[in-house]
Amino acid sequence: MNRINNLFKKKNGKILSVYFTAGYPDLDDTLTIIRELDRSGVDMVEIGMPFSDPVADGPVIQRSSEIALKNGMNINLLFNQLAKIREVTDMPLILMGYINPVFRYGMENFLEKCNETGIDGTIIPDLPPDVYMESYEPLYVKHDIINVFLVTPQSSVERIKYLDQISKGFIYVVSTAKTTGGINSFNQSHTDYFRKLDNLKLKSPRLVGFGISDRTTYNQVCEYSDGAIIGSAFIRSLEGTGSLPENINRFIQTIR
């Protein structure tokens, strides 16, 4: 069983997934960050593949991508860094990024390398679900990789149900139409949206991302979903005055 599915089978709610940008703060920090997140009790990790035009990302993640690219990060180097990752952790690992670098690498080569290194899934926001189904789903199945779909407050019920139907993992619930890191708290419109999804009784588990930055927002979204994804707030924490392990462990303790 794919590690993503196994996680949701074993753990009932309050799942914590953390996103970071590979190659940030320094080029060779990837394994250290994953190792420390595992030690801190995180359930799943999303590894960002930096891209020069991250349109859905807010300023914090955009800046981390710019620095990572200047540091020399690319997909090939990332796979090299992850070559022995399964000696470090058994957590589900997801690669998140944009389709252009993946196309340049070659989709089948990319998925084959994901399988080889122990990556469990991808999140590619600008890969249309219809294109995925028509052209790439057989490759994902062949290499036992799960593609995660996103829903937003603007998604129709019909589209949400369609994405739920084709999903083989979890649904990424984007909490807001703003970019990542664009909100600091949730209001009534957000909770109405979360309740709407809850009332649809979807078959797929749901994790909420965008806007989760502290224990309060984490607990709030966990009332209406299976857990939360934290990105911008975690990346900001890496810039603390302590060592990288200290900054990571301190931040996770503020969430749980």
Assign residue 31 the CATH number of its domain: 3.20.20.70
Reported as a pLDDT band with limits 50, 70 and 90, residue 28 is very high
- Residue 175: is its pLDDT beyond 70? yes
Q: Which is more confidently placed, 185 or 208?
A: 208
The pLDDT score that the predictor gives to residue 179 is: 46
Question: Which pLDDT does position 181 carry in this prediction?
Answer: 47
> Number of structural domains, the chain?
1
* Nearest C-alpha neighbor of 226 from the set 46, 47, 11: 11
Tally Cβ neighbours within 10 Å of residue 228: 26
Give every CB contact of residue 216 below 8 A, 6+ residues apart in sequence.
Answer: 185
Residue 184, SS3? coil
Report the DSSP beta bridge partners of residue 44.
17
Q: What does the alpha-carbon distance between residue 97 and residue 83 come to, in Å, rounded to a whole number?
A: 19
- Give me the domain span that covers residue 30: 3-255
Q: What would the pLDDT profile of 116-154 be if each residue is shown by its tens digit? A: 999 999 999 999 999 999 999 999 999 999 999 999 999
Distance CA 1, CA 205 (A): 16
Q: Provide the annotated active-site residues.
A: 46, 57
